[in-house]
Amino acid sequence: MSVQIIRLLENMEAELKVLGCWQAMPPTPEAMSSEVPFCMDTMAFSQWLQWLFIPRVRAIVDQGGALPKGANIKPYAEEALMVEKVSSEKLLNLVEQFDLLMK
C-alpha cells in the first residue's frame, strides 16, 4: 500500500504544479503552526496540501506507520478550491482517494 500512497502523493504534487498552485516559498512558521483544521485560518488549501499534508503523509510512509483514520478532507477541499478559484476534478479525486484510504 505504501507504493500506492506515494504514487497518490506524486500525482497530487504534479496536479498542484499544473494548476499553478505549487509555491517556492513556504508559509511563515506562524501560519504553519495553526491549530485550526487544514490551517484554514492561515493558508490556502493548496498550501496546506503542499506544506503539511504531503510532507506528513510521506513521513508516515517513510517510517512505516499507518495513515490516520477518519479523514474527511474532500468536502472541505471542494469548498476551499472554489474560494481559491481552482477547478480540478483530478485534485478532488486524489483527495477523495486519500479519504478512502484513511477510513
In percent, the amount of the chain with pLDDT more than 70 equals: 100
Q: 2-31+39-101 domain in CATH 1.20.1440.40?
A: yes
15-48 per-position pLDDT tens digit: 999 999 999 999 999 999 999 999 999 999 999 9
- Please write down the HEC assignment for all residues of 36-54: CHHHCCCCCHHHHHHHHHH
Task: Specify the pTM.
Answer: 0.93
d(CA 42, CA 31): 5
Whether the per-residue pLDDT at 2 is higher than 80: the answer is yes
Residue 1, pLDDT > 80, answer: no
Q: Where are the domains of the chain?
A: 2-31+39-101
